[in-house]
């Protein structure tokens, strides 16, 4: 590790251990930040909850994360009790208590930092690809409570050790194409939020929202013994306005009519793509898909950096009459200034979905 980088890592670890996690948290000690959730969570949620908690901790404490190779881990003691829910009956559903799990994660994070102070980790490789800018904004609007939630992880590949390629000493990219010959965009979705790709000004819808009135969704619900009726809008069993959603353990009443099984699709990327826009129904209820490119270009005219684009789009939806929660995320696949310089005329045919599965 270079001397300058080693010094940077040392400062980061020292601040983390002195200012944020000076001592291990006791069983009843409060967390150093607001808990992500207080109810039970499933095993499949553990990794995501832990990553979000760690990122929030670093953000709130104004610490920049140091990305190291995943091979750098502290040795695990097989005899050490690491499960905060070890007394759970194995015959019961494997639900974990959120606060003990978060406390356990923070204590483990502290152990790793202490170990790294003695043996610094290996440096992460230089990024081999463009890290896209994500502009995100959300408002409660006139609703009584905020039901939307969004998470953006710019360094997702590094966190999960997904390597697109490595840089050679001459600066060229050594791309391993054994598993994947082309660059692709994968999308998975549940519910009525939408995602679209804008490629050289052409709009490409990436998904079909899970609305109860969709013919295939209506057939699925009715085949299970449920019904789809119109109560202000089309609803499952006269109540739920989406036919699929992330259904928590406390909402099992809606199963199996409201499914938790996601749809997914993979799209080829040719290199001419501008951005991906993700937004909830509070945005798309008042903004047509075809309007998006012009709105983004207009926002870029005022915010050439791209960082404030999502806020401009949210404001537009509110002024257009949306009273629902509004969340918009714009992930730029090329520098925003390049998009602005080229303008908004569609110059390329929309790519076609390569595969789709449930």
pLDDT at 310: 97
pLDDT at 52: 81
- Peptide bond connecting 305 to the previous residue in cis, omega within 30 degrees of 0: no
pLDDT at 166: 40
E-only strand ranges, the chain: 40-41, 96-97, 133-139, 166-167, 173-174, 184-189, 194-199, 202-205, 228-230, 234-236, 263-268, 273-279, 326-332, 355-357
pLDDT at 42: 82
Low pLDDT (below 50) residues in the chain: 67-91, 127-128, 165-181, 345-358
> In whole angstroms, what is the distance from residue 47 CA to residue 91 CA?
23
Distance between start and end Cα atoms, the chain: 45
Task: Classify strands 228-230 and 166-167 as parallel, antiparallel or unpaired.
Answer: unpaired
pLDDT at 1: 53
pLDDT at 83: 45
pLDDT at 291: 96
pLDDT at 50: 83
Q: What is the pLDDT of residues 70-124, one digit of tens each?
A: 433 333 443 444 444 444 444 455 788 888 888 999 999 999 999 988 887 765 5
pLDDT at 208: 92
Query: 173 burial class (0-12, 13-18, 19+ CB within 10 angstroms)?
Result: exposed
| Residue 9 structure tokens | 């890592």
Q: What is the pLDDT of residues 265-307, one digit of tens each?
A: 998 888 889 999 999 999 999 999 999 999 999 999 999 999 9
pLDDT at 349: 43
> In whole angstroms, what is the distance from residue 136 CA to residue 330 CA?
6
> In whole angstroms, what is the distance from residue 260 CA to residue 220 CA?
13
| Residue 17 structure tokens | 């251990």
> In whole angstroms, what is the distance from residue 92 CA to residue 98 CA?
17
Phi then psi for residue 327, to 5 deg, are -130, 130
């Amino acid at each position: 590790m270079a001397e300058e980088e080693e010094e940077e890592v040392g400062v980061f670890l020292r601040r983390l251990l002195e200012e944020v996690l000076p001592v291990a948290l006791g069983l009843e000690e409060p967390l150093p930040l607001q808990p992500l959730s207080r109810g039970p969570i499933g095993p499949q949620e553990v990794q995501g909850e832990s990553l979000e908690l760690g990122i929030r901790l670093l953000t709130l404490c104004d610490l920049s994360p140091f990305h190291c190779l995943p091979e750098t881990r502290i040795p695990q003691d097989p005899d050490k009790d690491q499960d905060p829910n070890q007394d759970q009956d194995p015959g019961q559903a494997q639900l974990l208590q959120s606060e003990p799990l978060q406390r356990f994660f923070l204590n483990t994070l502290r152990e790793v930092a202490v170990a790294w102070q003695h043996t610094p980790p290996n440096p992460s490789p230089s990024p081999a690809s463009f890290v896209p800018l994500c502009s995100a904004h959300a408002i409660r609007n006139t609703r009584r409570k905020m039901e939307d939630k969004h998470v953006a992880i710019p360094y997702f590949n590094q966190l999960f050790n997904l390597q697109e390629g490595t840089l050679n000493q001459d600066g060229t990219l050594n791309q391993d194409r054994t598993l994947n010959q082309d660059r692709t965009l994968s999308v998975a979705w549940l519910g009525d939020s939408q995602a679209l790709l804008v490629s050289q000004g052409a709009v490409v819808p990436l998904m079909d929202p899970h609305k109860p009135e969709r013919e295939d969704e209506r057939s699925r619900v009715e085949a299970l013994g449920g019904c789809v009726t119109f109560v202000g809008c089309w609803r499952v069993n006269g109540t739920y306005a989406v036919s699929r959603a992330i259904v928590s353990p406390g909402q099992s009443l809606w199963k199996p009519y409201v499914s938790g099984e996601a749809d997914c699709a993979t799209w080829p990327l040719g290199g001419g793509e501008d951005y991906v826009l993700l937004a909830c129904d509070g945005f798309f209820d008042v903004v047509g898909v075809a309007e998006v490119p012009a709105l983004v270009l207009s926002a870029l005219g005022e915010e050439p950096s791209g960082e404030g684009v999502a806020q401009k789009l949210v404001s537009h939806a509110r002024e257009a009459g949306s009273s629902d929660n509004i969340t918009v995320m714009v992930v730029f696949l090329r520098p925003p200034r390049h998009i602005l310089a080229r303008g908004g005329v569609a110059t390329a045919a929309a790519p076609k979905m390569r595969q789709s599965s449930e």
